């Protein structure tokens, strides 16, 4: 520890200068004054140590809330933590200064009282005093009462930062120069006290869940909302193999019937090539047009309908768009449906507002939805799973921790781990689960059985 090293160095230095003290140093009461000064310096050291711990551990969100309510000390604390590098530098300078001074005085006093053996005595006593009363005790208290200590320490620390600012700048310059000599680099604007708000909130949610304060469903919703900024539409979109599309050149009557029979309300229309999407037809628009025609003429000729005239212009979005950005785009455009393309403009799938909301609240089903969960629990505790089921859904349903960085679906995960397209009957074990390939169609794993190592938490 830096403070312990400082004490040892100060003791050695003080041993040389203490010889000048009179041997009868106790006659005029000077030892009492020196002892009092040492205790005062230890109190300052405790204040520095506790303030450092408090400002490191305190929640910046709480400080910000108090500052917005007009609390001056909270405003000072927020200002201090905004420039954490300068704050820590000022605290360390002040703390080392008082520790070294206290060690020097203690060594001088011990030599005057005990002779040459006073160096060892002063080192031992000061080490214990600094460790217990200037380090462990104040830091323990400050950690458990970080908000209170931060508010109390904010004003004196603000003065300390102002007074020591030139020295702190000089020290920082020396540090950066030293790092540069060793080929290391400290990014400009690095905040010593700051942490990613996302990781802090997620960690708090997981902690409360593990302690029973947050149930699994609430944790999934909160974490799902946080993850929107880090997940891309390609991870949750409906793949183009599963999209229902209609050929715009088919007879209008047949198109109307296909729209009515479909479980979906919005269906892409294509011409010449299935990837050449020319419009998106909404079932409500067709029904309104038919109803208006019936009211006007009493009958309707579906073959005379111009479906494309009722279709909306297709909206294409990149597959790398984050879910948070796509959600904002849906709300600003007042649209619920977008087609996803890759960097070459090739159709990859479609994304809806409901898909993004399901990442937060879980599966949303209505009376017209097709049950396509694709997961069946077997009597032996295993799960029969369709290859298209997403890893994220399995993790959320069963509280598993399968990685979804390299693949979105469970079939993709198996292919990635196996580094090949497995055959039926093959089995693999990874991530504490056993995967049996049940069915394969051409180059696609369509069904597999998963044997979890541990029972699922539902």
Whether pTM > 0.75 for this model: the answer is no
Sheet containing strand 246-247, edge to edge, reads 246-247, 266-271, 273-282
The C-alpha atoms of residue 397 and residue 378 are separated, in whole angstroms, by 16
The C-alpha atoms of residue 110 and residue 113 are separated, in whole angstroms, by 5
pLDDT of residue 422: 92
Q: What is the pLDDT of residues 377-387, one digit of tens each?
A: 888 889 999 99
- Do the strands 383-386 and 375-377 form a parallel or antiparallel pair, or are they unpaired? antiparallel
| Residue range 231-361, CATH number | 3.10.580.10
Q: Band of the pLDDT at 298, cuts 50, 70, 90?
A: low
Please give the full DSSP string across 102-134, using - where no structure is assigned: HHHHHHHHHHHHHGGGHHHHHHHHHHHHIIIII
Q: What is the pLDDT of residues 36-74, one digit of tens each?
A: 999 999 999 999 999 999 998 888 888 888 988 889 999
- CATH 1.10.357.10 for domain 375-452, yes or no, is no
CB atoms < 10 A from the CB of 23, how many?
A: 11
Spatial CA neighbour of 205 closest among 235, 191, 225: 225
Average pLDDT, the chain: 83
Can you tell me which residue has the tokens 């507002």? 353
pLDDT of residue 200: 66
Can you tell me which residue has the tokens 């020196």? 34
List the domain boundaries for the chain: 2-181, 197-229, 231-361, 375-452
Question: What number is the average pLDDT over the span 273-291?
Answer: 89
pLDDT of residue 456: 46
Question: What number is the average pLDDT over the span 431-456?
Answer: 86
């Amino acid at each position: 520890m830096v403070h312990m090293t400082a004490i040892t160095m100060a003791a050695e230095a003080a041993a040389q200068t203490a010889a000048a003290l009179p041997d009868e140093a106790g006659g005029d009461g000077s030892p009492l004054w020196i002892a009092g000064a040492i205790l005062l310096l230890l109190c300052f050291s405790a204040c520095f140590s506790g303030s450092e711990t408090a400002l490191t551990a305190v929640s910046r969100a709480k400080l910000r809330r108090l500052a917005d309510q007009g609390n001056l000390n909270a405003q000072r604390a927020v200002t201090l933590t905004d420039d954490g590098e300068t704050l820590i530098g000022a605290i360390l300078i002040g703390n080392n200064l008082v520790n070294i001074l206290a060690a020097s005085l203690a060594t001088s006093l011990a030599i005057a009282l005990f002779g040459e053996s006073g160096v060892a005595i002063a080192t031992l006593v000061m080490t214990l005093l600094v460790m217990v009363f200037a380090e462990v005790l104040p830091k323990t208290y400050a950690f458990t009462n970080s908000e209170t200590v931060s508010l109390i320490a904010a004003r004196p620390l603000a003065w300390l930062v102002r007074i020591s600012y030139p020295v702190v700048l000089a020290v920082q310059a020396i540090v950066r120069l030293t790092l540069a000599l060793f080929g290391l680099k400290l990014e400009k604007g690095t905040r010593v006290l700051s942490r990613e708000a996302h990781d802090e909130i997620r960690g708090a949610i997981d902690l409360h869940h593990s302690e029973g304060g947050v149930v699994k469903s609430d944790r999934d919703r909160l974490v799902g909302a946080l993850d929107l900024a880090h997940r891309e539409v390609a991870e949750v979109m409906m793949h183009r193999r599963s999209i229902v599309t209609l050929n715009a050149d088919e007879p209008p009557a047949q198109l109307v019937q296909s729209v009515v029979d479909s479980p979906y309300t919005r269906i892409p229309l294509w011409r010449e090539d299935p990837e050449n999407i020319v419009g998106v037809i909404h079932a409500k628009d067709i029904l309104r047009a038919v109803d208006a025609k019936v009211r006007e003429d009493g009958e309707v000729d579906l073959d005379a309908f111009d479906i494309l005239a009722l279709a909306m212009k297709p909206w294409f979005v990149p597959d790398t768009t984050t879910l948070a950005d796509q959600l904002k785009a849906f709300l600003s455009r007042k649209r619920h449906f977008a087609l996803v393309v890759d960097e070459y403009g090739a159709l990859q799938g479609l994304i809806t507002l409901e898909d993004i909301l399901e990442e937060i609240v879980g599966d949303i089903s209505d009376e017209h939805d097709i049950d396509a969960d694709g997961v069946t629990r077997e009597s032996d505790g295993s799960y029969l799973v369709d290859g298209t089921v997403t890893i994220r859904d399995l993790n959320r349903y069963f509280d598993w921790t399968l990685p979804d960085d390299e693949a979105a679906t469970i079939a993709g995960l198996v292919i990635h781990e196996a580094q090949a397209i497995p055959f039926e009957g093959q089995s693999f074990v990874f991530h504490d689960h056993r995967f049996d390939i049940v069915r394969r169609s051409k180059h696609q794993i369509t069904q597999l059985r998963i044997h979890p190592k541990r029972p699922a938490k539902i």
